[in-house]
Structure 1
Amino acid sequence: MTTTAATHLRTIALHWTDLHDAAGQPAQIGAFGLGLRGYLARIEDAEQLEYNRHQAAHLRTLERDPIQLGDRPVPVRLHILDTMRAVEAVLIECADDIAHAAQRAPISMPAARRADYRSMREARIAYEDRQRAVQLALADERDPKRWRYTGRRTAPHAALWLLARVDRAPGPCRRITEVEEQRIGHVAAGACERVEAALDIAAQRKTLEQRHDCGGRIDVHGGEGRPPLAHCTGCGRIWTEGGVIAA
């Protein structure tokens, strides 16, 4: 569990910039399923139709999104933005929950005391002690290993903070429990799967809901930069972007 969760969290952190870049790139013709759906236009893909409706419904609300600002030569790819929002939300929520349970509160500032010292030496010692306590409290409160509920709350930062918890790295936290580790692993696996699917960097396989004319199921394979390919489990027909290659 630990190794798998760590791998997923590292993948998310490493590829987050790629998602930002992909958000402004045109859709690739060879991406998983896209070309085949064009060729197999007669096969109604319920998920794709639902996604198209989702895009249309949210287009106007996304027009002013800050991530779309800047010089972009092509329209923003909404499904990439959807992936980024979903992944960031689930990672931050997970980090909030783990921090609430496992992260200790910052060291309190020393309380002020009355200036009723019997000598200058006693006053100086008390002053120096208080200054050390103040510096210790400030350092603990500003510890970069501490998860914060305001400010820097991004997907890669949440992924790296959760990775530190999984790797048992030092910080202002107790050792996470097995249940907490399982929660992180579950969240990391789902988030990583969405990132890899959005970037088409993982092998994918999908069985279409609607059957082929022969009654067989249609399996679509793609990802990892390879052109998608469809195979009918009934008659054995195989499709690629260019058409039928075997029947």
Structure 2
Amino acid sequence: MTAAHTTTAADHLDTITERWTSLQDRVGDRPTTTWPPAMGITRLMSDEERQEQAAERADTATDAPGPRPTPVDVDVLDVMTTIETGLVTAADWLAERIQRPAFRATTGRGWSDDVHRQVVLLAAKDSADPRRWTFTGQRTAPEAAEWLSLRLGGTPGPFRTLDEGERQAVEEVARMSAELLRRTLGEARRKEAVPHPCPQPCGGQLVVEGGDGAPPVVRCEDCGRTWTDVPSDAA
């Protein structure tokens, strides 16, 4: 395994620890955009599809009549659950394989024996070593990401060195988690098929690309024609 691969995985895990609060903040916001963006694709919709879209907006828009639900982005909650479950599960799996069991000592001999007392204290200290991954209690995505990053980096502790398969497994979880986080925060470019054919004679497959903060683009994969949004206040 090259150093470049390790650095990339560490960067992915750092992204989780550094940007997790951004996801938490996003949960309290009502979604302001949808993916894929409608853009000019609405002109290709049937009358029935346009009516369904209007009915959905009447029911969910913040200015619609009637009581409105508490502003929560359920999609972001789902993403956070997915990321956290993946990272914590990976940490549990890895700890079972590489983490040395805590040293144990019998405590029935009292404290009069200095050697016995030192052994008991050593066992208690080993069990409470903060470098250990714990299998109970609250385990968050940032905590799991940090612990996995330290294991990839070979930081000393009650662990053995990762083998190649373990390293690759952690790197894959780190990559997928960071990719999902960036995509949710609008920092990763996405591509998705559009359920309407190209309006040009080719009738080819349309795809929409965007989601990374740059203006979205609709492109025909057959003829290559592209469409972009034009601001309403454009001259």
| TM-score normalised by the chain length of structure 2 | 0.76
Deviation at 1:208, TM superposition (A): 3.2
Report the residue type matching 1:109 in the other structure: A
Give the match for residue 50 of structure 1: none
Q: Is the 8 A contact 2:217 2:226 kept in 1?
A: no
Q: Which residues in structure 2 correspond to 1:45-124 (within 5 Å)?
A: 75-113=71-109, 124=112
Q: Alpha carbons of 1:41 and 1:19: their partners in 2 closer, same or farther (altered >3 Å)?
A: farther
C-alpha RMSD over aligned residues: 2.7
Deviation at 1:173, TM superposition (A): 0.8
Deviation at 1:6, TM superposition (A): 1.1
Residue 27 in structure 1 maps to residue 23 in structure 2 = no
Report the residue type matching 1:178 in the other structure: E
> Residues of 1 paired with 2:177 and 2:207: CA distance?
24
Report the residue type matching 2:23 in the other structure: L
> Residues of 2 paired with 1:228 and 1:105: CA distance?
52
| Higher RCO (Cα < 8 Å, 6 or more apart) | 1
Deviations 1:12-66 (A, max 9, x none): 111111110001112233x6523438746728xxxxxxxxxxxxxxxxxxxxxxx
1:226 is paired with a residue whose SS is coil
Give the match for residue 220 of structure 1: 208
Question: What fraction of aligned residue pairs are identical, expressed as a percent?
Answer: 33
Q: Is the 8 A contact 1:25 1:74 kept in 2?
A: no
| TM-score normalised by the chain length of structure 1 | 0.73
Residue 186 in structure 1 maps to residue 182 in structure 2 = no
Q: Which residues in structure 2 correspond to 1:9-24 (within 5 Å)?
A: 9-24=13-28
Q: Is the 8 A contact 2:9 2:175 kept in 1?
A: yes
Q: Is the 8 A contact 1:230 1:240 kept in 2?
A: no
Give the match for residue 6 of structure 2: 2
Give the match for residue 229 of structure 2: 240
Q: Is the 8 A contact 1:32 1:228 kept in 2?
A: no
Q: Is the 8 A contact 1:27 1:77 kept in 2?
A: yes
Q: Alpha carbons of 1:211 and 1:189: their partners in 2 closer, same or farther (altered >3 Å)?
A: farther
> Residues of 2 paired with 1:241 and 1:135: CA distance?
71
Equivalenced residues, count? 204
> Residues of 2 paired with 1:80 and 1:204: CA distance?
17
Unaligned runs of 5+ in 2: 47-68
Give the match for residue 202 of structure 1: 188
Deviation at 1:99, TM superposition (A): 0.4
Q: Is the 8 A contact 1:204 1:222 kept in 2?
A: yes
2:45 to 37, 42, 52: 42
